[in-house]
């Protein structure tokens, strides 16, 4: 049996057989939504091969249960490329979601903004992304399936559902392009200017490898950024991980309302 099938069996034994309708990956400072799920929490340390998710602001556990009447599987912590140099570090958790029968994935992250109309505390729905980190989580994958089409990687139907939910909550959810930088250092002002010229609206250190892996596995996905700061050089505020964690709750409360409405409306 494959590792993901074994882990899926372990999770089903503890959390029940019904396939989660949605997988959710929670970004820096956004982890508390996992606490709202009525279900079973399994620390990553009990799931062999799951990443240790060593970045503060993340809660490394999988929670399977009900949220707004839907069965969900929440990955409370993610591992990043910059922790290990492995862009495929989230492959096993995503394979496990797939093995559990999950077909849809909502990703969240904290990001820096390149647009004056997206200040700290704003949300941005990813319309598309740029894999600027220059690597790919499918490097080394031997099967022909590695040639994944990425048109509409950010699923139009899921995006429409999230926009409807945001409108119903009276929360602005503009769309934009997210540019993946490897981190862990933040960008220079010149890199931020370059990203803007390339067509990006926000920058961050996650999500893109997970979207590529999710599309490889056939999961439909959509992602939302919580803007925690203006990109380097665009404002006087100092950029730091502490600042990211401090600012994430500003947008996280709005994001939680959108996600609850989205799940409840049955998109
Ligand atoms: N750059 C990259 N990642 C980030 C930022 C940023 O400015 N803010 C939050 N995550």
pLDDT tens-digit readout, 179-203: 999 999 999 999 999 999 999 999 9
The whole-number average pLDDT for the span 24-51 is 88
Query: At residue 32, does pLDDT exceed 90?
Result: no
Query: At residue 96, does pLDDT exceed 70?
Result: yes
Distance (angstroms) between ligand 1 centre and the Cα of 253 equals: 19
Output the six-digit token pair for 239. Answer: 């950029």
Which comes out higher in pLDDT, residue 236 or 13?
A: 13
Active site annotation includes 243: no
For the chain, give every domain's residue range.
3-264
Report d(CA 249, CA 246) in Å as an integer: 7
Report d(CA 255, CA 234) in Å as an integer: 24
Active site annotation includes 32: no
Global pTM reads 0.96
Catalytic residue among 6, 21, 46, 83: 83
Query: At residue 226, does pLDDT exceed 60?
Result: yes
> Which residue owns the Cα nearest ligand 1 atom 7?
112
What are the counts of helices (DSSP H) followed by strands (DSSP E) for the chain? 7, 9
The whole-number average pLDDT for the span 65-77 is 94
Pocket of ligand 1 (CB under 6 A): 110-112, 181, 186-187, 203-205, 228-229, 231, 239, 244
Report d(CA 67, CA 24) in Å as an integer: 11
From 124, 203, 247, mutation site for ligand 1 pocket: most ligand atoms within 8 A of C-beta:
203
Q: What is the pLDDT of the chain when averaged over all its residues?
A: 94
Residue 33: band (very low, low, confident or very high) from pLDDT cuts 50, 70, 90: confident
Active site annotation includes 206: yes
The whole-number average pLDDT for the span 10-15 is 96
Distance (angstroms) between ligand 1 centre and the Cα of 18 equals: 36
List Cα–Cα distances, 167 to 139, 151, 221, 258, 260, in angstroms.
39, 26, 20, 9, 13
Catalytic residue among 4, 109, 113, 206: 206
Active site annotation includes 53: no
- pLDDT score, position 219: 98
- pLDDT score, position 206: 96
Query: At residue 9, does pLDDT exceed 80?
Result: yes
CATH 3.40.50.1580 is held by the domain 3-264: yes
User: CA 77, 260, 122, 199: dihedral to nearest 10 degrees?
Assistant: 70
The whole-number average pLDDT for the span 119-139 is 97
DSSP string over 106-149? EEEEEEEE--TTS-TT-EEEEEEEE-TTS--TTTT--SGGGS--
From 186, 207, 227, 252, mutation site for ligand 1 pocket: most ligand atoms within 8 A of C-beta:
186
The DSSP code for 189 is H
Catalytic residue among 4, 15, 28, 232: 28
Percent of the chain scoring above 90 in pLDDT: 84
Least confident of 9-18, 162-171, 250-259: 250-259
Query: At residue 228, does pLDDT exceed 70?
Result: yes
């Amino acid at each position: 049996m494959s590792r993901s099938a074994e882990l899926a069996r372990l999770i089903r034994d503890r959390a029940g057989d019904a396939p989660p309708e949605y997988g959710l990956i929670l970004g820096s400072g956004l982890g508390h939504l996992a606490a709202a799920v009525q279900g079973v929490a399994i620390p990553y340390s009990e799931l062999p091969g799951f990443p240790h998710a060593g970045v503060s602001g993340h809660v490394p556990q999988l929670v399977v249960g009900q949220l707004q009447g839907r069965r969900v599987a929440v990955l409370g912590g993610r591992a990043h490329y910059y922790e290990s140099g492995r862009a495929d570090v989230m492959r096993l958790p995503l394979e496990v979601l797939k093995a559990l029968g999950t077909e849809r994935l909502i990703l969240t992250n904290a990001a820096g903004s390149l647009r004056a109309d997206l200040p700290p505390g704003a949300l941005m729905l990813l319309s598309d992304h740029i894999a600027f980190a220059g690597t790919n989580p499918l490097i080394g994958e031997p099967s022909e399936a590695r040639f994944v089409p990425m048109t509409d990687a950010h699923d139009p139907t899921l995006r429409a559902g999230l926009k409807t939910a945001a409108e119903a909550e009276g929360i602005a959810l503009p769309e934009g392009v997210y540019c993946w930088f490897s981190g862990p250092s933040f960008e220079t002002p010149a890199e931020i200017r370059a990203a803007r010229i390339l067509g990006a609206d926000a920058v961050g250190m996650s999500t893109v490898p997970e979207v590529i892996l999710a599309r490889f596995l056939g999961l439909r996905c959509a992602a939302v950024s919580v803007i925690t700061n203006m990109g380097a050089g665009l404002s006087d505020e100092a950029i730091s991980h502490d600042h990211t964690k401090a600012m994430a709750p500003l947008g996280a409360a709005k994001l939680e309302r959108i996600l609850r409405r989205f799940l409840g409306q049955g998109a």
